[in-house]
Amino acid sequence: MNAPHTLPAPPKPGSPEAIADATSFVRFERVRKSYDGIHFVVEDLNLAVRKGEFLTMLGPSGSGKTTSLMMLGGFEEPTFGHIFLGDEPVERLAPEKRNIGFVFQSYALFPHMTVAENVAFPLRYRGIKGTAAADKVAKALGMVHLGHLAARKPCQMSGGQQQRVALARALVFDPTLVLMDEPLGALDKQLREHMQVEIKQLQRMLGITMVYVTHDQSEALTMSDRIAVFNDGRVQQLAAPEMLYEQPANSFVAGFIGENNLMPATVDATEGGIATLTMGDGSRLQAPNPAGVAVGAKARLAIRPERFFIQVGDARGPLNILRGPITDMFYLGDHVRLSVAVGGDKPVVARIPVSQRRPFARGETVTLGCAVTDCRLLEG
């Protein structure tokens, strides 16, 4: 089940991925970018965006996601490789000729113009004037519920309102593609969550292709059709949100998306897709082995904290059992968060729903159970 989009290698010609890529809308092909001629910020980017999809580039800062977006927007030129928009290579095309809507982190509204003038700005370069332009501006502002503030200057608006103006301005000229660079980063949590839903709805309603950059994984999970997880200038995995969460391709993705217990292990045997492992403390566990980690290889066992339960009595079905004393515990309303020292260098973290809770005490030895199918063996 290793996701086929785990690049760097581009898809083989004739493979389903290659065909999907051929019908795709935006393609990065072997794109590399270096600013200083020594280090590559983007190592080897191969990525295909489908028409009408909401694709998020997610990764920690310095992972190359923003640089990739800037190259797509035309503000940076790839050092090597090609970027296709439709069938056309655009890596040398000036930004104003790409017809791409771009929403900047800082919004980049023009402070000397009113909201309406800001939104009308792209129209003048497309020969849309007079009432036709006014209609489009009104429609775009209506779409973001700001029709009544058209005469304001950007500085007279709240951050959320400015964000909407930037969105309206990027959409008003019916761009073929909309790019967003952490557009919600400056907003408070509540407003951010609200805007996530609103942007997603707009995208779905307009059927527009969006490429979105963020370092906030919950934002990525909420909004995206697919997520490209970036690290060290490479795409680590490109998949739908639930795939990323349930079937991470490697330890980085497993650790970056959601919380995960990553425990070092050695593969003893593998049979029928199920591997038998020896853990750091000598205990033996089982896990599915979709990545096909070879016998004897170093590996990591990934178990999500919420997949643990408190095992009472005998184990039934294929279960992994871990035992150890509670080193720390936090009551969090809907669940209790336990740190359990099960051997190995780090305690495992378990989230036990409050419905399962019985009074825990620090130092008490608990037995954690976890279905074998909820575990995942990863290379590394």
Partner 1 sequence: MTLALPHAGTAPSVKRAVRRADRPARRAAFLLSLPLLAFLAIAFVVPIAALFTTAVDNPETRSVLPDTLRALAAEPSAAVPGEPVFAELAHDLARAGKARTAALLGKRLNYEIPGMRSIVMAGSRLAAASSQGPWRQKFCDSDPAWGDPALWAAIRRNGARLTPYYMLTAVDLQQTPSGGLAPVAPEQRIFLDILGRTLLVAATVTLLTLFLGYPVAYALTLAPPLLGAIMMLCILLPLWTSLLVRTTAWVVLLQSNGIINDLLIGMGLISKRLQLIFTRFGTVAAMTHIQLPFTILPIASVMRTIPVAQLRAARSLGAPPMSAFWRIYVPQTLPGVMAGCLITFILSLGYYITPALVGGPTDQMVSNFISVYINRDLNWGLASALGVVLLAVTLLIYGLFLRIVGADKLRLG
Handedness of CA 351, 356, 362, 364 (dihedral sign): negative
- Structure tokens given for 276: 């038998």
- Is residue 114 at the binding interface for partner 1, with CB under 8 A as the rule? no
Q: Is 184 helix (H, G, I), strand (E, B) or coil?
A: coil
- Is residue 161 at the binding interface for partner 1, with CB under 8 A as the rule? yes
129/194 with CB nearer partner 1: 194
Residue 125: alpha-carbon gap to chain centroid = 34
177/352 with CB nearer partner 1: 177
- The single-letter code of the amino acid at 217 is Q
- Is residue 79 at the binding interface for partner 1, with CB under 8 A as the rule? no
- The single-letter code of the amino acid at 32 is R
Site for partner 1 in 130-149 (CB under 8 A): 145
To the nearest 10 degrees (0 to 180), the angle between helices 115-124 and 130-143 is 120
- Is residue 104 at the binding interface for partner 1, with CB under 8 A as the rule? yes
Instruction: Return d(Cα 11, Cα 4) in angstroms, integer.
Output: 8
To the nearest 10 degrees (0 to 180), the angle between helices 159-171 and 189-206 is 20
Applying CB under 8 A, among 158, 201, 218, 278 the residue interacting with partner 1 is 158
Q: Shortest Cβ distance from residue 122 to partner 1 (Å)?
A: 4
Q: Shortest Cβ distance from residue 132 to partner 1 (Å)?
A: 16
Q: Shortest Cβ distance from residue 100 to partner 1 (Å)?
A: 6
Site for partner 1 in 36-75 (CB under 8 A): 73-75
211/370 with CB nearer partner 1: 211
Strands 375-379 and 365-371 come out as unpaired
- Is residue 94 at the binding interface for partner 1, with CB under 8 A as the rule? yes
User: Are the CB atoms for 307 and 376 separated by under 8 Å?
Assistant: no
Applying CB under 8 A, among 37, 61, 87, 112 the residue interacting with partner 1 is 112
- The single-letter code of the amino acid at 119 is V
Q: Shortest Cβ distance from residue 113 to partner 1 (Å)?
A: 8
- Is residue 78 at the binding interface for partner 1, with CB under 8 A as the rule? no
175/290 with CB nearer partner 1: 175
31/109 with CB nearer partner 1: 109
Quote the DSSP letter at residue 112: T
67/270 with CB nearer partner 1: 67
Site for partner 1 in 189-248 (CB under 8 A): 191, 194
User: Are the CB atoms for 321 and 365 separated by under 8 Å?
Assistant: no
Instruction: Return d(Cα 17, Cα 10) in angstroms, integer.
Output: 9
Instruction: Return d(Cα 146, Cα 132) in angstroms, integer.
Output: 19
- Is residue 95 at the binding interface for partner 1, with CB under 8 A as the rule? yes
Q: Which residues bind partner 1 (CB under 8 A)?
A: 73-75, 94-96, 98-102, 104-106, 108-112, 121-122, 125-126, 145, 158, 160-161, 169-170, 173, 191, 194
